[in-house]
Structure formats: C-alpha cells, structure tokens
Amino acid sequence: MDEKLARIAVFYDGNYFFHVSNYYAYQHTRKARISISGLHSFIRKKVAEFEGTEEKYCRIVDVHYFRGRLSAAEAQERDILYSERIFHDVLIREGVTTHFLPLRGGAEKGIDVWLALEAFELAMHKHFTVLVLIAGDGDYIPLARKLNTLGTRVMVLGWDFDYTDANGDKRSTKTSQGLLEEVTYPLLLNDIIDDRTRRNTALINDLFIQQIGKNQRQVLPASAVKTDASESGEILKLTDGYGFLKPDRGGENLFFFHAEVQNTDFNSLMESDKVTFERGSNVKGECAVSVYLIENT
C-alpha cells in the first residue's frame, strides 16, 4: 500500500500567489479569488492523472506558505491588519504551515531562498513523490534541479497573463520558461482555466471561491474603525478592481481602488451600498481611501 501512495508537498510563493489571486478577483472575468481547498483538490487530481494512479492514493502531506509581512503596527496603520488576518485564518483552516519574514523597506528579501532550503530539506527527509511549486520565478530553477537529483518529481503551477491596472498602465506576469523546462509536470493554469472546452466544469469552477450573497458577507462594523476624518457616501459603480462613490455631502464623485476596502472583500460590494471613507489622492487627483462598508445596509 505504501508503494502506491503518492506523497504530495505544496510550496507557495505567497507574494506570487497573492498577485495571481488578485488578478482573478479584480481583472479576470471570473471576479473571484482562488480557493486554497479547490486548488489542493485540483493538485490531487492532476497528480493522479500524471502518476497513473487513483486519486485516493494521492495525498497532500505537507503544505507551506512563504511571504514577507508587515509588522502588526504597520499593518494597523495601513488598515490592512483585518484583511490579512482573514486570509491567515483560511490558511490555518486548510492546514497550511506559514513562514513569514519581516518586510524591509517595503520589499521582500530572502523569501525565495528560505522556500528553496525548506523544500529541499523536507524532500530529503520525507521522500515526497511530487513537490508542487506555486511560483513563477526563474530563481527556483536550482531548487528544481536539486529535487530532480533526489528523485522527487516537481510540478509547477504557473500563470501567464496581461492586464491594465487602475492607472492605465500595462502589467504582465510570465512564468519562467527555464523553470517550466526543468520540472517533470509543468502546468500553466491560465490556459487550463480559459480553455473553452472545460472552463465551466466542476474541476475549474471549484478552483474559485464562490460568490456570497449580500446577507452572507463578512463585515467588520464600520463604527469600530471610523475616525474623525471619515465621511459617508454611496457606491455608484463597480468595475474591474475599482469603483466610484458619491459623497453624501455633495461634490465630485470619487474613485476608489479595491485595496482601499478595509472591512469586507471588494467583490462582495454592491452598487448603492453605503460606505464611510477618507479623502486622499493619487496620480489622477482626489480619491477615496480607507473605505468601509457600513454594516446592515
């Protein structure tokens, strides 16, 4: 029985995964975040397919998530502490072991090295059948080569996509071709997700978190976070990762970016929702920042 069991380990480059999840939440037509549990189910199915075995013999035995993180004080100051904790709760529920390094000057330093060292060490001791890298950087090529020497087969889940951000700038994400060539099972999930012959199948739909209704959304009471600088308004329009709101006190409608929504997920917002916000500015002028959905609207 042990010879039949395919032992799977999953290693997340957290910043890469967060970037990809944001793309599907705010830029792609799906308008939904990637589901951790759905992704793990997808991995088990693909390993069974590639290894020529039954899915019941494919078990994820280790999952690790690596990312740089702000201090609690900095996250609180930027109004992202609550949203970070929500995602960390998801990781805990899915049995994911988290590894965080402090951000230095707003940038990640050493995460890829730490991931590579941890992945190689655990593969040596635990003899994984397949190690899954959710990453796209060519810096992981040496790791893939080292894992090959152990006889551990490597799967890469990568994405290639282009989009235009809220400032009108062109953005592009590409998975390293060198990395794809070094591994046993290279997968570009953007091709799989957008394949018209299977994009509405349960396998693909389950990769995404299902949208919730207005009465089911999680909302931190705005009264707990409003400041003297806050004012109220109403959402007029929502689009790809940003929206516009009308201040109750009158004046020009204000743009707001998805990252400014603090006490619920941007994709759970609806037009006509009441919010509180503060005034800020970006390259295009005045905008709304620190946007909070008012509970029970």
Per-residue confidence (pLDDT) for residue 218, from 0 to 100: 59
Question: 281 vs 136, which has greater pLDDT?
Answer: 136
| Mean pLDDT, rounded, for 216-240 | 71
**Region 6-205: CATH code:** 3.40.50.1010
Per-residue confidence (pLDDT) for residue 125, from 0 to 100: 97
Q: What is the dihedral of CA 249, 252, 253, 258, to 10 degrees?
A: -100
Confidence of residue 221 (pLDDT cuts 50, 70, 90): low
Which tens digit of pLDDT belongs to each residue from 176-205?
999 999 999 999 999 999 999 988 899 999
Residue 165 has pLDDT above 80, yes or no: no
Residue 143 has pLDDT above 90, yes or no: yes
77/202 Cα distance (integer angstroms): 41
Per-residue confidence (pLDDT) for residue 277, from 0 to 100: 93
- DSSP readout, 216-239? T-----GGGT--TT-EEEEEEEE-
Residue 222 has pLDDT above 90, yes or no: no
Q: How much of the chain exceeds pLDDT 90, in percent?
A: 61
Per-residue confidence (pLDDT) for residue 179, from 0 to 100: 98
| Mean pLDDT, rounded, for 30-52 | 95
Per-residue confidence (pLDDT) for residue 97, from 0 to 100: 97
* In the chain, where the domains are located: 6-205, 222-293
Question: 76 vs 183, which has greater pLDDT?
Answer: 183
Question: At CB < 8 A and 24+ separation, what contacts does 236-239 make?
Answer: 236/271, 237/271, 238/269, 238/270, 238/271
Residue 297 has pLDDT above 60, yes or no: no
Per-residue confidence (pLDDT) for residue 3, from 0 to 100: 62
Rounded to a whole number of angstroms, the distance between the first and last alpha carbons of the chain is 55
Q: Average per-residue pLDDT in the chain?
A: 88
Is the domain defined by 222-293 classed in CATH 2.60.40.10? no
Per-residue confidence (pLDDT) for residue 296, from 0 to 100: 61
Per-residue confidence (pLDDT) for residue 1, from 0 to 100: 45
